[in-house]
Amino acid sequence: MPGFTLEPEQARWCAELRTLAAERLRPLADKGEPGRVNRPLLAALGELGLLERLFTSGALELCLLRESLAHACTEAETALALQGLGAYPVLRSGSAPQRERWLGPVRAGRAVAAFALSEPDAGSDAAALALRAEPDAGGWRLTGEKCWISNAPEADFYSVFARTGEAPGARGVTAFLVPADRAGLTGRPLDMLSPHPIGALAFDGVRVGADDLLGEPGRGFRVAMDTLNLFRPSVGAFAVGMAQAALDATLAHTAARTAFGGTLADLQSVGHRVAEMATRVEAARLLVYAAASAYDGGAPDVPRRVAMAKLLATETAQYVVDHAVQLHGARALVRGHLLEHLYREVRAPRIYEGASEVQRTIIAKELYRQEAAR
């Protein structure tokens, strides 16, 4: 993809996805209850083959998929992405029986997956996990809490990261697949600004065994980071999709809205602001595509590139949506308006899967590591 210009086939696929999201998925999303898993929407994503594409796509195709869905239906995009985030550790590190049991239902939209990494006192510093996995009769018992977990407490299974203590810090973390009906596992929903489901989980001596391991003991942090390295650039794609939707709405509004003897578009201050919004969206899109292409190509600097992509795209989306609201005025704040919806949606991506401050830390660390290697 020279210069990161989409091939005609890719452009057609993106257009088809936007139409599909608007015509087939948007009505199902509108019928859903905010803060709850929308199982009919998930079933439709499975029926349309989009969940299957989630697991067979490279990073760039995943970005195109998420950006296109986000443009017309953020709920569909988020439902799809959360299936990938929760199930990707099983795809990459799970045993054959685990993959056979869970991945088919996830692809079909019948089973809901969740990625359980964050804790009340371990968000950005993921290596500071406190959930304990204590040895017990050839297995472990999980004791502690998880918090800010998307799809909790309604998921059917969780990719859970706990401290088994083989070494301090990240080297003492192990990944487990924990079905939601496991004894001792309870959860509660959290009432959040974002409209998708988020909850907290409590582990009261939850029994896990060797059959529940995702990968090897003490290697769970790598399982988590492999997942995040794939999904971080596509979080940027989600942000770009939202930003483009806000920009499109702004262009239509300012071209038609009369004020001061003309349209808003006739005002230089408005034109300049729209130009800035459009330039930032395009820059973010290109950086996301570049990072995804680097991931697909096995480039050695993927951590830096994906951190840059997520940072720029999510910060850009916040900027663009905020300015779109400003140019629309009070109408954009009415409940149910596209921009009111985007204004609530756009804030969270700057925090989850590594806050903007964490991305800057990763970028700086990688730059100085390269400098030291010269």
Structure tokens at 217: 């003991």
Report pLDDT for 2: 43
Domain 222-373 has CATH 1.20.140.10: yes
- To the nearest 10°, report the CA torsion of 323, 324, 326, 331: -160
**Average pLDDT of every residue of the chain:** 94
Which residue in 7, 154, 353, 366 is the catalytic one? 353
> Residue 71 pLDDT > 50, yes or no?
yes
**Domain layout of the chain by residue ranges:** 2-108, 113-218, 222-373
* pTM of the predicted model as reported, rounded to 2 decimal places: 0.93
Least confident of 26-35, 122-131, 212-221: 122-131
Burial of residue 177 (CB within 10 Å: 0-12, 13-18, 19+) is: buried
Q: 129 or 69: whose pLDDT is higher?
A: 69
**8-27 pLDDT per residue, tens:** 999 999 999 999 999 999 99
Least confident of 124-133, 238-247, 277-286: 124-133
Respond yes or no on whether the N-terminal peptide bond of residue 89 is cis (omega within 30° of 0): no
> Residue 1 pLDDT > 50, yes or no?
no
E runs forming strands in 117-156: 132-136, 139-150
Query: Could you tell me which of 74, 163, 78, 72 has the C-alpha nearest to residue 112?
Result: 78
Query: What is the pLDDT averaged over residues 314-321?
Result: 98
Report pLDDT for 332: 97
Secondary structure of 196-255 as H, E, C letters: CCEEEEEEEEEEECHHHEECCCCCHHHHHHHHHHHHHHHHHHHHHHHHHHHHHHHHHHHH
103-130 burial by CB neighbour count: b if 16+ within 10 A, else e? bebbbebebbbbbbbbbeebbeebeebe
> Residue 331 pLDDT > 50, yes or no?
yes
Active site includes 353?
yes
The CATH number that domain 113-218 falls under is: 2.40.110.10
Question: How much is the CA Rg of the chain, to the nearest whole Å?
Answer: 21
What is the CATH class of 2-108? mainly alpha
For a pLDDT cut of 90, what percent of the chain falls above it?
A: 87
